[in-house]
Structure 1
Amino acid sequence: MGRKAGGLFINSKRFSSLHKPCMKEMIMFMNCMATSHSDVEACAKQKEILNTCIESQSKKNRKSWGSINYQLQRLSRGRK
């Protein structure tokens, strides 16, 4: 149910762990919060760095090409 036999399909959740763009900034912020006992004012610099990284990764700045599975379906339609 759902997929035709022999169709192309990639589990995109499996590849999501490969690209973590703001992980380093988040770890720096969390380490600062742990050492300063959750004092946000002491970690203002790390928080600002993390916010700018997250804003730069937002979807409004990127051109969407659709999911990988959508592109594979398009390719298989042209192949028939």
Structure 2
Amino acid sequence: MGRKVGSLYINPKRFGNLQKPCMKEMISFLNCLAIAQGNDEKCTRQKSLLSACMDAQTANKRKPWGSINYHLQRLSKGRK
């Protein structure tokens, strides 16, 4: 089990945290919930901003091309 010696590999978890598009809205909503002691009726503005941001992110989905490691394996097979 494991990877072959000498093969190319990129850890995708390392690059996964480069972009956090709705982090600011989520933090403001969670802060409001903490201040309001869990009552989300007092945080309707922050909740609507967070849901709008999340809806905008789902609209921007790109066509999946597979993982980068899959493509690296394909390139290395052609090189041999």
For this structure pair, what is the TM-score category when the shorter chain's length is used for normalisation? 0.7 to 0.9
Q: In structure 2, how many angstroms separate the alpha carbons of the residues matched to 1:68 and 1:14? A: 13
Partners in 2 of 1:47 and 1:66 — Cα distance?
A: 33
**Equivalences, count:** 80
Where does residue 21 of structure 2 map in the other structure? 21
Residues 1:70 and 1:59: Cα distance change in structure 2 (over 3 Å): farther
CA shift, 1:68, in A, is 1.3
C-alpha displacement at 1:24, in angstroms?
0.7
Query: What is the aligned-residue RMSD (CA, Å)?
Result: 1.9
Alignment partner of 1:78 is 2:78: yes
Question: Counterpart of 1:39?
Answer: 39
Structure 2 letter corresponding to 1:52? A
1:8 is aligned with what amino acid?
L
In the TM superposition, 1:47-58 aligns within 5 A as 47-58=47-58
| Corresponding residue of 1:12 | 12
Deviates more, 1:21-30 or 1:33-42: 33-42
Deviation (angstroms), 1:59: 8.0
> What is the TM-score when the length of structure 2 is the normalising length?
0.82
